[in-house]
Amino acid sequence: MQQNEFEIPGIDEGLREGIQHKLDNKAKPVGSLGRLESLAMQVALIQNTLTPELRKPVMLTVASDHLICAEGVSPCPVEITWQQVLNFLQGGGGIGLLSRVYGMDLHVVDAGVNFDFAPHPKLIDAKVRKGTRNFLYEPAMTMDECMQAFNNGRRIVAKFNDEGTNIIGFGEMGIGNTTPASALMSIICKLPVKDCVGPGAGLDKDGVSHKGRVIEQAIAKHGVSENVLENLACFGGLEIATIAGGMFEAAARRMVILVDGFITTAGMLVASELNRKVLDYAVFAHVSDEQGHHKMLEYMKADPVLAFGLRLGEGTGAALAFPMMQGAVAVLSEMTSFEEAQVVNTSHIRFEEEAEK
C-alpha cells in the first residue's frame, strides 16, 4: 500500500483572518450568530473561499449484515436490515423522510446485506459479501474484503464529487452494527469495553452486559493490531469500512462531511487514525444517546452541532444538521454587511471595551 493513498490536503489557515473580518462586518453584533459563524468559517476554510456554497447535497446510507448477531447482541431480527433498505428506497423510514424534507439526494449503498436486491436507481451495489463473519470465532473480513469495502466507499464518493457534489452525509443500516462499532471504539480509543457498549436497538441491562462480554472475548481471542485497518478487518463491519473509505475520499476532495451517529462516527474514527487531517472536513451532526458516542466524540475533540437525543441512525442526525449548514453558508455568502444595509457599524465598541478590561 502506497503512502500517498492516505494523503489529505491541509486547510489553508491564511484565509481565516479574511473570513473572520467578513463575518464581523455583517449587519449584526460580532459573534451574535454563534455556532452558525463557526460552521461558516469551517466551510469557507474547506472550500478556500470567502463565498462558499453547498452544491448537490447527497446522503449515503450504507447497509450491511453481521453474523455476530448469532451471539444475541441485538434484540432485533436480522431481516430488518434488508427490509429497511427496501423501505428507504421507496422514500420511507426516518432517513427517507428527512432527506426529502431537507433536500438531500438519498442513495442507499448495499455494502454487504444478506439479500439479493433488484436494481433500483437509488441503490448502489457495492456488496463485498453477504454480511461479515462472526468475529467471536474468526475475523469479520479478510484484509482484501476490508480494503475492497474501503475502496468502494472512495469510488462512490469520487463519482458524486465528479458530478458536482461538495457536501455529503453518511448514515448506516445494519442490525447488530453497534457491536463492531463498540469493539473498534474500545481498541482505537483504548477504553474498557464497558465504556463503549450501549443498548443499540433496545437491549436491556443484561443484554448490554452480554454484548460487552462477547466483544471482550473476541478481543482476547484475536488480539489487537497496531494497524487500524487490520483491526477494522477483524472486528468491523462492511458498512463501517465503506463509510470510512467514503469519508476519507471526501476529505481528499475537500468536501464537507456530515457525520451522523455512533456507527458512522466509528467510520470517521477509523479514517482519522489513517490521517488526522480528515477531521478538518468533518461536521459532527449530533451527539446520540448511545453512551459510547459521547466518549468517541471526546476522543476526536469533536463539537457536535445538535443534541436531540437521537438514536435511530440511518443518517437522520446528519440530515437534520444540513439546514444548519445552509444557514451558516448563507450568513457568510449572502447576509448584508453594515455598509450594504447602511447601518452604523458598532463592532469596534466591543473591541474597545475588551481592551479596557
Residues marked as catalytic:
314
* C-beta atoms surrounding 12 within 10 Å: 10
CB 170 within 8 A of CB 243: yes
Closest CA to 23 of 15, 122, 177: 15
Q: How far apart are CA 141 and CA 230, in angstroms?
A: 9
CB 272 within 8 A of CB 243: no
- Using alpha carbons only, what angle is made at residue 98 by residues 93 and 101, rounded to the nearest 5 degrees? 130
The residue whose grid cell reads 453497534 is: 178
Q: E strand or H helix at 259, and its extent?
A: strand 256-259
User: C-alpha grid cell for residue 175?
Assistant: 442490525
Q: Report CA torsion sign: 343, 53, 258, 308.
A: positive
Q: How far apart are CA 273 and CA 296, in angstroms?
A: 13
Q: Which residue(s) pair with 106 in the sheet?
A: 59
Q: Phi/psi of residue 105, each to 5°? A: -85, 105
CB 241 within 8 A of CB 231: no
CB 269 within 8 A of CB 241: no
Closest CA to 285 of 128, 263, 275: 263
Pairing between strand 256-259 and 282-284?
Answer: parallel
CB 27 within 8 A of CB 338: yes
CB 239 within 8 A of CB 64: yes
Q: How far is CA 270 from the centre of its chain?
A: 11
